[in-house]
Amino acid sequence: MKNLYPNDLVQRPTGINLDHDSIHVGDVVYLQPKDGGPAIRSTVIFDTPLFGCTTYTSDALVRPARGERAAQPVRFRFRMQDVHKVQPARG
């Protein structure tokens, strides 16, 4: 499983607010890797306070690259400022 950390992600521009101001386990978030690929949809599996802010963990399956047969599992560790969109699991 590939791991991506906050320094591997593009932060949301400071002037743009999210529709939802909190993230919970089960929510779907969209994160943008710095490698220039498309935003990745992932499901939050864990959150904890760490170093003075909440750190989240989510899992995703990324479409296979050319020549690969299977989707690649990716685990993200991120903060609220790394999230570009939130879809709450609860209505």
21, pLDDT greater than 90: no
How high does pLDDT run on average in the chain? 92
Q: Which pLDDT tens digit goes with each residue over 38-72?
A: 899 999 999 999 888 999 999 999 887 777 788 89
Per-residue model confidence (pLDDT) at position 91:
62
Residues in contact with 7: Cβ distance below 8 Å, sequence separation at least 6, in sequence order: none
Q: Which residues pair with 74 in a beta bridge?
A: 2, 60
Architecture of domain 2-87: Roll (2.30)
Q: In the chain, what are the domain boundaries? A: 2-87
Amino acid code (one letter) for 19: D
How many percent of the chain have pLDDT more than 70? 99
